Amino acid sequence: MYLRLTSILSFFSLTSLFAQSNSSPLSIQHLTGDFYIYTTYNYYQGDRIPANGMYVLTQQGAIIIDSPWDTTQFQPLLDSIRIRHGQKAVMCIATHFHEDRSGGLEYYRQQGIKTYTTQLTDQLSQKRGMKRAEFLLTKDTIFTIGQYSFEVFHPGHGHTPDNIVIWFENQKILYGGCLIKSTEDTTLGNLGDASVTDYATTLQRVQTKCKNPAYIIPGHNAWTSTKSLAHSLRMAEKLRRKGKK
Ligand SMILES: [Zn+2]
């Protein structure tokens, strides 16, 4: 039985390796309406990991939420938006200071795109030598761009002290970034800047604020399940219990 399990596991890791080596460096999938999820890849602890971002087409141009993790894909993302949809990107907001979110801020600023983070993200980016945005948010903010409105919400310290979520209340789309883990994930991932004690409470604040999301987009891996927030909360509660012992 043990041998059999091992061979099944290695079969799966081989097929996923195969699938990954064939996948393009930038994949774009339609979410709903004017909303698209794009994915790029990078290496973390030797594994090739996908990172999700989102873009929204508006009457004023495209809004990019988080820049590509793969630095070679900053321009291809802009090109894809232009070729597929005939739109220019007008805004990019990064949801925390880590490179898989903020890496393209400087490049996009140089392309004339308005770049945003919170002030807290900017402080951490400055301290850690990461790319920084042109415009800083000092509090939770509702943006209206073209026909779409969304709220930038800082629920507290989870994955990082500065992690924000983006909530399109009318469309019920919750962009969680790395604060929310995919239902595919079995751990909370990189906890280097995380809060063991606050992570669960922070996720509960997201649950209270963002009622009945129809879509929840985690920072990495599959985004098709809306159970990702509850799944992340269970892992964060476990982390808190372990941390308190
Ligand atoms: Zn991440």
Report yes or no on 8 lying in a domain. no
Give the CA angle between residues 193, 198, 203 to the nearest 5°: 100
Contact yes or no for 64/55 (Cβ under 8 A): yes
pLDDT at 9: 43
User: What CATH number did the domain enclosing 80 receive?
Assistant: 3.60.15.10
In total, how many domains does the chain have?
1
Report yes or no on 20 lying in a domain. no
Report yes or no on 6 lying in a domain. no
pLDDT band at 129 (very low <50, low <70, confident <90, very high): very high
Q: Is the pLDDT of residue 55 over 60?
A: yes
Report yes or no on 2 lying in a domain. no
Distance 3 CA to ligand 1 centre (A): 34
Distance 93 CA to ligand 1 centre (A): 15
Distance 121 CA to ligand 1 centre (A): 14
- Under DSSP, is residue 6 helix (H, G, I), strand (E, B) or coil? helix
Quick one: average pLDDT of 142-164?
98
Alpha helices in the chain (DSSP H): 2-22, 74-85, 99-102, 105-110, 119-128, 199-209, 228-244
pLDDT at 45: 86
Q: What is the CA radius of gyration of the chain?
A: 18
pLDDT at 10: 43
pLDDT at 210: 98
pLDDT at 194: 98
Distance 65 CA to ligand 1 centre (A): 13
Q: Is the pLDDT of residue 47 over 70?
A: yes
Tokens of 96: 């925390």
Distance 5 CA to ligand 1 centre (A): 30
Q: What are the two backbone dihedrals, phi and then psi, of residue 157, each rounded to the nearest 5 degrees?
A: -80, 120
* CB contact set of 34 (below 8 Å; sequence gap of 6+): 56, 57, 58, 148
pLDDT at 44: 87
Task: State the number of CA atoms in the 13 A half-sphere of 230 facing the CB.
Answer: 6
Task: State the number of CA atoms in the 13 A half-sphere of 234 facing the CB.
Answer: 9
Distance 177 CA to ligand 1 centre (A): 7
Report yes or no on 12 lying in a domain. no
Distance 69 CA to ligand 1 centre (A): 9
Which residue type is seen at 99? Answer: E
Report yes or no on 166 lying in a domain. yes
Distance 61 CA to ligand 1 centre (A): 26
Distance 64 CA to ligand 1 centre (A): 16
How far apart, in whole angstroms, are the C-alpha atoms of residue 32 and residue 23?
23
| Percent of residues, the chain, with pLDDT higher than 70 | 90
Report yes or no on 17 lying in a domain. no
Question: What is the pTM assigned to this prediction?
Answer: 0.90
Helix, strand, coil percentages, rounded to 5, for the chain: 35, 30, 35
Report yes or no on 7 lying in a domain. no
Residue 66's domain comprises 27-244
Residue 144: alpha-carbon gap to chain centroid: 21
